[in-house]
Amino acid sequence: MKSRWNDGDAARYVEVARAAGQSEALGLRIYTSRIIGGDPDLVLHGGGNTSVKVKSADGEDLMHIKGSGWDLDTIEAPGLPAVRLAPLLDVRHGPKLSDPEMVALLRANLIDADAPNPSVEALLHAFLPFTFVDHTHATAILALADQPDMREAVKRVYGGRLAYVPYVMPGFDLSIAADRVYRDHPDCEGLWLENHGLFTFADDARASYELMIEFVTMAEAELARAGITLSGPQESDGDEDAALRARLETALAREGSPFAKGVFLDYRATAAIRKHTAKANVEEIGLRGTVTPDHVIRIKPWPMIVEPDADEAAIHAALAAYAERYTAYFERNAARASEPKHMLDAYPRVVLVRGNGIYALGANAKAASIGGDLCEQATRAINAAEAYGRFTPIGEADLFDMEYWSLEQAKLAIGSK
């Protein structure tokens, strides 16, 4: 992976920030956020987050943190709302906060009360004692992070430069757990989050960004050591069966479906997708879960699989089987929840055509396109993970907790507007 840093571009962002009465650090934060977001092998569609700590005109410590509903590749100053830092640091040694309490804390300390909700990982950004903090879900990192146990491999590849954080659900619990790991390894330059992604940090914008690039490049090299070449994003180049699309549209648009008012299908057929969909055990792999936890809120826990020649009866049977499996998944996991859960619709968001390609489904073109992009990246990560060892994402219980997490559902609602 190559650095996209350019001194001239960085200087222009600094000048724009100064002209707007903003800090130089915020200008650099916007710049590096955009070059992170501009690389789909680092983050996609609202994934990842960034922050910068600054002082206000009267000397108060503030943190600008990515706000929900913003994508890094197009982020502007309003997408990095400022929060007061001291109250966030105070909770480090306090009692556990519930999700609503954490959101209330963050909102209560926004400088602009009308700003978007700060990232659910804002506390972790606050706890890390660096000016700039970057977080991504890089494809190469996911291929390795979604392995049964990478602790020793991470130590071998990165030495003490990365500290290993076992999987914890994003939010308050992850912030506390990762902070403890950091404090046990205060000389580390980043955090490796199992089944999740990578954090890097520094007091300089370029240094934090280029640590991210270096560590992702080292992950690519580890894959290469195992004989695995991870390609960049691939353009769809396969032929679509228009008749199959029509049959899917008809079946999905029936009364009671979330797509009853119309369904949008985004078809992808790339070399990586064809390799994945041709696997004899593709259904079993799909049932393991999503490559990074937050994908579940957009593409459901697993795809529906159909044959290339599936007729209407076969598609309806597949939909019925999917609904039965999803309902059982919901009932199993809702029974252990600490609060009542209301089941979402039991329709897929991804239809995998065996040996051919993948349809991402959405109630509008944007949702379908986002799903298609996630699937394109996911298949490359899964192929690499399977070639390296065994694709092993978070388990069903953790996946359910993410899918039915109120904070992630709120994020999805914002992003669909």
Q: What does the buried/exposed string (b/e) look like for 224-234 if buried means 16 or more CB atoms within 10 Å of the residue's CB?
A: eeeebebeeeb
- How many structural domains is the chain composed of? 2
Same domain (yes/no): 255, 203: no
Q: How far is CA 390 from the centre of its chain?
A: 20
Give the chain's mean pLDDT: 95
pLDDT given at position 338: 83
CA angle 122, 7, 190 (to 5 degrees): 35
Q: Is the pLDDT of residue 411 over 80?
A: no
Same domain (yes/no): 303, 216: no
Same domain (yes/no): 86, 154: yes
* pLDDT tens digits, one per residue of 154-191: 999 999 999 999 999 999 999 999 999 999 999 999 99
pLDDT given at position 281: 98
Same domain (yes/no): 291, 174: no
Place of tokens 């008809």: 250
Same domain (yes/no): 282, 388: yes
Q: Is the pLDDT of residue 9 over 60?
A: yes
252 is a domain residue? yes
Same domain (yes/no): 220, 253: no
Same domain (yes/no): 54, 121: yes
| Signed CA dihedral, 286, 288, 294, 299: sign only | positive
pLDDT given at position 22: 96
Q: Is the pLDDT of residue 257 over 50?
A: yes
What average pLDDT does range 87-92 have in this prediction?
A: 96
Same domain (yes/no): 166, 193: yes
What average pLDDT does range 102-126 have in this prediction?
A: 96
Same domain (yes/no): 262, 406: yes
Give residue 339's domain range: 242-415
What average pLDDT does range 194-202 have in this prediction?
A: 97
Model pTM?
0.94
CATH number (domain holding residue 341) = 3.40.225
246 is a domain residue? yes
* pLDDT tens digits, one per residue of 20-42: 999 999 999 999 999 999 999 99
Q: Is the pLDDT of residue 408 over 90?
A: no
Q: Is the pLDDT of residue 410 over 80?
A: no
Same domain (yes/no): 140, 35: yes
pLDDT given at position 406: 73
pLDDT given at position 384: 98
pLDDT given at position 417: 45
DSSP 335-382: TT-SS---------SEEEETTTEEEEEESSHHHHHHHHHHHHHHHHHH
2 is a domain residue? no
| Signed CA dihedral, 246, 370, 280, 401: sign only | negative
Which among 165, 198, 225 is the end of a domain? Answer: 225
